[in-house]
Amino acid sequence: MMPPPEVKTPTWLLNQQLKNNPLGCMDAIYKRYGDIVTVMSGSTPIVHVSNPLGIKQIFNNTKEITDSSIFFRDPTLTVGQQGILEVDGLVHKHRRPLLMRTYHGERMNASGQNICEITKKIITQQAIGKTFTAHELVLKIILQIAIEMVIGLREGERYEKIKHLFTSLIKYEGSLLYDLIVKEFSFAQLDLGRWSPQGYRNYLYKQIFQFLFDEVKERRKQTDFSHTDMLSELIFACDETGKSLSNEEVRDLLFLPIFASRDGAAYSLTWCLYWVHRLKDVRDRLLEEIEGLGKNPDPINIVALPYLTAVCNESLRIRSSPMFMLPRLVESPVEIMDYELIPGTVLIGNIYLTHQREDLYPEPKKFKPERFLEKRFSPYEFLPFGGGARNCIAAPFATFQMKLVLATILSNYKLELVNKQPERQKRFDNQCHPRGGVKMVMHGQR
């Protein structure tokens, strides 16, 4: 039995193509090699799968294929090694539900009105007639929501400090300096003090983790049990042995739910704003549906709107953020789609290419929300948040939030795209983001 076909492009060139034109590069690979392909990284085969049957086999073969944490540990950091991505096995299985409670059921529904209020508060700060970057605006909204949901801070000195720290880290890791030097050259990853590129990054991480640690200690001293944020849940939680979580464990678990706001949530919502304001027919139909709820609609009624749901799903499909599922490791010989994979192979479900299949999504390059009204897709066909044991813990909340922010902006403010040309994309780690951040201008309130 043969291994999957191997991409022949030199690794250095392929990496450059994936960085500068990720979607075009992946489209070309799919057209030439099909829906299961091998990309070599040194001596390690990395197999990309974009066939729903193959993705289902990856999820089901949990003995031969593991979701190891070795892919997520950052050797350049000395803090945060007990987060949800860095733990395995029983520990990971036990701690996922602890984090997920904040993002489901009554707690999620209760946050709806607050999400709408935060969105209005931030967007009204934009000057009428002045160009702004949609991604920066969205990031402010999503970050404030995340900080409140995770550690319960909404205003005051402590809130401003943690918002500043996370904003500084997000901007630095998205800067040209970090992208062109720190990520590309091993010598730049040495911590030579705060004024060195890697040293500054490490400084920000340490400041954030120290803040979170202090917040955990302070919260344990309080006698007010009315808080409903994630931190308040975790300080009373026990680990898999029945022992209370330590301050360090709680601290580490809090980091990713806030930091992840820079990735899928912010990028996906930015792309959604782009498509809705680029396509007048989509915008008009969506506005008509939202306005049909009357003035000051209940957030629960907003998120139940079918066309709004279809628009958000189509945006998640056509510009997938993330582009790939979290990697899996083949531990023992296994067969995927009639190909044999050897131990040591890294398996990646390619979300973007799965969402671009003509047999699932006719005319996949066109933005057509109607497809989600006409057909229900399986979790192996439409998987914007990954799947399996390490899918996004906040997936239901992410779509809930996306609908409310989009509906609030669209129904209350008149925005317009500045550039009429199609927005180009760029790869950042596992994300596909708009290269220019989507420039927009506000013309006032509706």
Helix extents (H) in 45-88: 52-60
| Look-up of token digits 């350049």 | 76
| Main-chain dihedrals φ then ψ at residue 86, nearest 5 degrees | -90, -5
CB atoms within 10 A of CB 161: 14
Degrees, nearest 5: CA angle 299-305-310: 125
- Which residue type, as a one-letter code, is found at position 206? K
Strand-pairing partners, residue 349, are 49
At residue 50, the pLDDT reads 97
341/346 Cα distance (integer angstroms) = 9
Cis ω before 322 (30° cut-off from 0)? yes
Instruction: Tell me the pLDDT of the chain (446 aa) as tens digits.
Output: 788 999 999 888 988 888 888 889 999 999 999 999 999 988 999 999 999 999 999 999 988 999 888 888 888 787 788 999 899 889 999 999 999 988 888 888 889 999 999 999 999 999 999 999 999 999 999 999 999 999 999 999 999 999 999 999 999 988 878 877 777 777 778 888 888 888 999 999 999 999 999 999 999 988 777 778 999 999 999 988 999 999 999 999 999 999 987 777 888 999 999 999 999 999 999 999 999 999 889 999 999 999 999 999 999 999 888 899 999 999 999 999 999 999 999 999 999 999 999 999 999 999 999 999 999 999 999 999 998 888 888 889 999 999 999 999 999 999 999 998 999 887 777 788 888 999 999 999 98
Domains and CATH numbers, the chain: 1-66+323-354 (3.30.43.20), 67-320+355-445 (1.10.630.10)
- Quote the longest CA-to-CA distance of the chain: 64
105/82 Cα distance (integer angstroms) = 26
Question: Measuring CA to CA, which residue among 69, 388, 46 is closest to residue 252?
Answer: 69
| Look-up of token digits 């003090």 | 193
At residue 105, the pLDDT reads 82
SS (H, E, C) 331-397: CCCEEECCEEECCCCEEEEEHHHHCCCCCCCCCCCCCCCCHHHHCCCCCCCCCCCCCHHHCCCCHHH
At residue 217, the pLDDT reads 95
- Which residue type, as a one-letter code, is found at position 418? V
Helix extents (H) in 61-189: 89-100, 105-110, 112-123, 134-151, 157-173, 176-177
427/25 Cα distance (integer angstroms) = 11
Beta strand pairing call for 425-428 and 346-349: unpaired
At residue 125, the pLDDT reads 92
